[in-house]
Amino acid sequence: MPPSLSLAYSTCPNDTFIFHAMTHGLVDCCGLSYSTTLEDVETLNLNAIEQRYDITKLSFAALGFLQNSYGLLRTGAALGRGCGPLIVARSGATINQMRSALIAIPGEHTTANLLLGLFLKDQLNFKTPLVTAMTFDQIMPAICERQVDFGVIIHEGRFTYQNYDLVSIADLGQWWEQKTALPIPLGAIAIRRDLPEHVKKTVENTIGASVRFAFNHKDAAGDYIKQYAAEMSETVIEQHIELYVNSFSSDLGEEGSRAVNRLFKMARQADLLPDSNAPLWACKA
C-alpha cells in the first residue's frame, strides 16, 4: 500500500477546480495516495489547530497562528488582485459607525477577519471591533434581517451582495493593494512540518501538476465543482474560479512570498498575530 495522507480543502469552486485532477487519478501522485475531506474554510482552520490533517487549506491568517506545526506550500494558494473581502451593510451605513456596530465575520481565524482588524486600525485607529462569527453564506441574510450591522463577505458574495440590497462600504483587497502594491494573500495550502522532506516536496509538485491540468482541461472538473457548489449559477462559478485561481496558484513565486511576509509582518506589528521563529515554507525550493 502506498502511503496515504489526509488532505482537506474547501467546497469552494477554486479548491475543487484545483484539486480535482489530483484526487481523481488524472495526474501522477508519485506513489502517494490521499483521503480527502471537504469543509468550510473556518472549519478547516479550527481542525488544523488540532493538526487533524496532513495537508490542509488554511486562511493565511490561520497559518500565521500555526506556523510551528504547518508550513506553506508554494502551490495551490489563493492570492490575487481585485479579489479581497468586502465590508457590506444596509444602505446609508458609514465606516465611522463600525466603532460601535456589530460586525459579522466568516470566522475568527480567517484572513478576512485579520484584514478587518488591519483596516480599522489604519482608518479609525481602532482594531478591536465587536464581531460575531458565522459561516460566510449566513452573513448577508443576517445583515438584511438586522441581526448585525455590517458584514465581511468572501467567496461568491462579491458577486451577489447587491441581490440582497446591500452596499459595499469598503473593499479590503483594494485597501491592501493601495497600501502595499502587492497581491492579497487569502488562502494557503499547508502541510505538517513533521512529515519527511521528500513527501512534502512530492505533495507540492503534485498540487502544481493538478493546477496545470485544471488550466489545460477547464471543463474536466465541472461536475465535481457543481457537486459542492449546488447553489451557484454557472456564471458565478466561472467568475469565482477566474478571480481566485491564477499564476500564484501554480507557484507563489517571489512576489507572492513578499505579499505573505508583508501580511504577517503588519499583523504582528499590530498584535493581531503571535510571533513565530518558524520558517514560512514547508520545504526547500
Which residues are annotated as catalytic? 155
Residue 183 has what DSSP assignment?
P
Three cell numbers written together for 44:
478547516
Kindly write down the DSSP assignment for every residue of 255-274, as one continuous string: HHHHHHHHHHHHHHHTTSS-
Angstrom distance (rounded) from CA 115 to CA 111: 6
Please list, residue by residue across 18-57, b when 16 or more beta carbons sit within 10 angstroms of its beta carbon and e when fewer do.
Answer: bbbbbbeebbebeebebeeebbbbbebbbbbeeeebbbbb
Backbone phi, psi, residue 257, to 5°: -60, -45
CB atoms within 10 A of CB 209: 18
